[in-house]
Structure 1
Amino acid sequence: MSKLEQNLTMESKTLESSLSVPSVQELSLKSSQKVPQRYIRDDGDDVFSTFPSSDPSLTIPLIDKAKLVNADTQQDELHKLHLACKNWGVFQIVNHGVSSLKNMGNQVKRFFDLPLHEKKRWAQKPGSLEGYGQAFVTSEEQKLDWNDMIFLKSLPIQNRKLDLWPQNPPEFRETLEKYSEEMREEAISIMSFVTLALGLTDTKISESFSEGLYDIRMNCYPPCPEPERVLGIIPHADNSGITLLVDFGDFPGLQFLKDGKWVGVQPIEGAIVANIGHIIEVMTNGIYKAPEHRAVVNKMKERLTIVTFCYPSPSMDIAPAKKLIVEGNQQVYKNMTHAEYFDRFFNRKLDESFIDSIRL
């Protein structure tokens, strides 16, 4: 069962909104020695996993996009991609060609460096997750993550709520528009290679991402006086098709659970961390699984990340590919429409695992 689901209460009937909570950046400036009790995770809270850190020799797989597009090296790199998706559910990709990473990172830093009253101009509104604030806070007693975020629906364009798109810094909106388009192209490209790695010749899955939904979450993890007692984000798996993360930290703050151990992702400048979401887990009939991951924080250093959640077209059913259901390999997950999938996710029972709830 997801630790996120275990930790939420039933005070909210849906996860599509979040209660207002204090700015962690402001707490970080004021809390020189102690962390407020509501953020402490080592006092019997089972979300603070006792899984050990892994052998540092374990590293997240690295995929070279240049080798995927080169006919001479494609097959070997596709094999590496298949093993990465099958055994890890996550990989770092280099030589991808997305040009706006650094510029977008600068805009995000400038936004989080604004005074609190200025950031609050784009604060979340009741009944919505979009805007500046926190995600999935459904109770006044709930333990909190050590991060601030701004979450925006980016594509298709008609999904945008521009009243929540910051106008300060001045180039934020323009940069995010370009970044969104480049991330959509990258998602389509990555998914085309993922389906090839899986042995599927049907391009329907990858093509569905051209008309898909793209949501972007920008995170700030401020320095923490007691980093060993808190979590930046609690362990969870993503409900996306694929998630593309850009890390602007210089320490392994992102960790994935592998064989009972947390494995830190060492940031590579200019790389994108791609992980499988529940939708692709369903579509691959469980061959590729959405990995559990979390964020940890640092005593001295701030960490910024930009996370793009990529979903297939709303017209695409969320169901296992028929070619992957063969004799001796029964269908594992239910057939759902896009709407049914999201209805199940946002209105699920909080005492059960989401992925388990959609198994046959």
Structure 2
Amino acid sequence: MEPKTTEELGSCLVFPCVKELVAKNGELNSVPERYVSRNIDPFVLSNIDSLQHLPVIDLSKLLYEEVKGSELEKLDIACKEWGFFQLINHGVSMTLVEDMKKGAEELFNLSMEEKSKLWQKAGDMEGFGTMADVSQDEPSNWVHLFYIFTLPSHLRNSHLFPNLPLPFRENLEAYCIKIRELGIKVLVHIGKALGIEPNEIKDSLGEGGQSIRINYYPPCPQPESVLGLKAHTDASALTILVQNNEVEGLQIQKHGMWITIKPLPNAFILSLGDVMEVMTNGIY
């Protein structure tokens, strides 16, 4: 089944998804012009060992500290100086995480006929697609993604969540609840590092919303010429990222330099978003 057009699948889709483009053409020798980015910022290629590494925070130690201790101080520095950190001993079942990874792979391996039932509709950001926010004259990201709003449950897309395949839907249900609990714990400790009462950040966020985006980056014959996702900040308060493999692709900018992140096994990578920056403006 051929990938559907923009008009058929919704305004967010600019071109057929990259995964199907690669599958349809077999082993590509070059990147289609549409995806070539000609003004990519230089990134770190050498002297990796001499660079600072992303801070690592141990949640079990944070929970153990009754007063401001060394782990909370590390969290404070990570937020002030990086806005990113890796979180270990986070308490989320790795069996559940692995089930989510497997389910995500199976989701992207669905036939185009099955994917079409979960595609972005006109004017909607949820489902399969590209979430393109650039003009037709700008290069597209080398990514195919699935985006879905998960919590609170009464605000879910009524045509999308119930139609997710099993057991992925059940695992996603359990996962989003656990990740929300983890996010609240982290936010409370960020508040603690700032001298803010535990409920103050919770009250500021209100009920809050949670969404999950799954990014798929197919093999690329010219990786130096494309961007999986363009440079951006997250609009959320907190992003909790889990990587499906050990490929080093995520980069963050610090002091004008792009630094490649080496993900730790069984760790989450956390990023402070725009909402958190606004909330802590004048403190961080």
Gaps of 5+ in 2: 1-10
- Matching of residues 1-360 of structure 1 within 5 Å: 18-29=12-23, 30=25, 31-42=27-38, 46=39, 48-53=40-45, 55-57=47-49, 58-71=52-65, 75-99=69-93, 100-165=96-161, 167=163, 169-201=165-197, 203-209=199-205, 211-288=207-284
When residues 140 and 50 of structure 1 are mapped into structure 2, their CA distance, relative to the original with a 3 A threshold, is same
When residues 233 and 203 of structure 1 are mapped into structure 2, their CA distance, relative to the original with a 3 A threshold, is same
Measured in 1, the distance between the counterparts of 2:67 and 2:105 equals 38
Q: One-letter code of the match for 1:222?
A: P
When residues 68 and 152 of structure 1 are mapped into structure 2, their CA distance, relative to the original with a 3 A threshold, is same
Q: For residues 179-234 of structure 1, what are the alpha-carbon distances to aligned partners after superposition, in whole Å with 9 as ceiling and x for unaligned?
A: 11111101100000011112223522135557210011111111101111101000
Measured in 2, the distance between the counterparts of 1:70 and 1:53 equals 39
- TM-score, normalisation: structure 2: 0.88
Measured in 2, the distance between the counterparts of 1:141 and 1:195 equals 43
Measured in 1, the distance between the counterparts of 2:246 and 2:163 equals 28
Measured in 2, the distance between the counterparts of 1:55 and 1:166 equals 49
Query: How well do the aligned residues superpose, as a CA RMSD in angstroms?
Result: 2.1
Measured in 2, the distance between the counterparts of 1:105 and 1:202 equals 32
Measured in 1, the distance between the counterparts of 2:45 and 2:216 equals 23
Q: One-letter code of the match for 2:229?
A: I
Please give the secondary structure, in 2, of the residue aligned with 1:211: coil
Measured in 1, the distance between the counterparts of 2:179 and 2:15 equals 30
Measured in 2, the distance between the counterparts of 1:208 and 1:188 equals 12
Deviation at 1:52, TM superposition (A): 4.0
Between 1:91-100 and 1:161-170, the stretch displaced more is: 161-170
Please give the secondary structure, in 2, of the residue aligned with 1:49: coil
Measured in 1, the distance between the counterparts of 2:187 and 2:57 equals 13
Deviation at 1:19, TM superposition (A): 3.5
- 2:143–2:217 Cα contact (<8 Å) kept: yes
Query: What percent identity do the matched residue pairs reach?
Result: 39
- 1:184–1:210 Cα contact (<8 Å) kept: no
- TM-score, normalisation: structure 1: 0.70
Q: For residues 245-275 of structure 1, what are the alpha-carbon distances to aligned partners after superposition, in whole Å with 9 as ceiling and x for unaligned?
A: 1111212111100112111111222211111
Measured in 1, the distance between the counterparts of 2:123 and 2:106 equals 27
Between 1:222-231 and 1:26-35, the stretch displaced more is: 26-35
Measured in 2, the distance between the counterparts of 1:203 and 1:23 equals 43
Deviation at 1:174, TM superposition (A): 1.0
Q: For residues 112-159 of structure 1, what are the alpha-carbon distances to aligned partners after superposition, in whole Å with 9 as ceiling and x for unaligned?
A: 122222222200001011110011345333310011111101111111
Measured in 2, the distance between the counterparts of 1:186 and 1:202 equals 14
When residues 54 and 263 of structure 1 are mapped into structure 2, their CA distance, relative to the original with a 3 A threshold, is farther
Please give the secondary structure, in 2, of the residue aligned with 1:235: coil
Deviation at 1:72, TM superposition (A): 7.1
When residues 73 and 114 of structure 1 are mapped into structure 2, their CA distance, relative to the original with a 3 A threshold, is farther
Please give the secondary structure, in 2, of the residue aligned with 1:263: strand
Q: One-letter code of the match for 2:271?
A: N
Deviation at 1:74, TM superposition (A): 5.8
Measured in 1, the distance between the counterparts of 2:238 and 2:230 equals 19
Measured in 1, the distance between the counterparts of 2:280 and 2:164 equals 42
Structure with the higher helix share, 1 or 2: 2
Q: One-letter code of the match for 1:278?
A: D
When residues 267 and 162 of structure 1 are mapped into structure 2, their CA distance, relative to the original with a 3 A threshold, is farther
When residues 200 and 141 of structure 1 are mapped into structure 2, their CA distance, relative to the original with a 3 A threshold, is same
When residues 72 and 190 of structure 1 are mapped into structure 2, their CA distance, relative to the original with a 3 A threshold, is closer
Between 1:169-178 and 1:71-80, the stretch displaced more is: 71-80
Gaps of 5+ in 1: 1-16, 289-360
Measured in 1, the distance between the counterparts of 2:130 and 2:173 equals 23
